[in-house]
Amino acid sequence: MSQAFWGPGYSREEIRRAIDSNELAQKGCEIAELKEGELMRRTAVVITDGHRLLPTHANGRALVLGDFLITRQ
């Protein structure tokens, strides 16, 4: 961690367990684990298309958790 303001770190496995425990795929979300460059590119596309990056409960369309991009259809 380069600075304390980033908050606590979570492993890939911890993030995956949190995603799976919320059954996001069953709720119509697409979950993609991506390498950094592809994550940035696809996140930019979501923003460019006029969608906000917000938690799914806040009417956003996408959420970035670690290396995971979660989008609602």
Neighbours of 70 (CB within 10 A): 20
Model confidence pLDDT, tens digit, residues 31-69:
888 898 988 888 888 778 776 665 545 556 677 777 787
The pTM (predicted TM-score) of the whole model is: 0.61
Closest by CA to 9, choosing from 1, 18, 19, is 1
Give the integer Cα–Cα distance in Å for 1 and 35.
18
pLDDT of residue 4: 56
So where are the chain's domains?
Answer: 28-73
pLDDT(1) > 50: no
Model confidence pLDDT, tens digit, residues 3-33:
556 667 888 899 889 888 988 888 888 888 8
Tokens 């991506």 sit at which residue?
34
**Using an 8 Å Cβ cutoff, are 65 and 15 in contact?**
yes
State the sign of the Cα–Cα–Cα–Cα dihedral 18, 23, 25, 29: negative
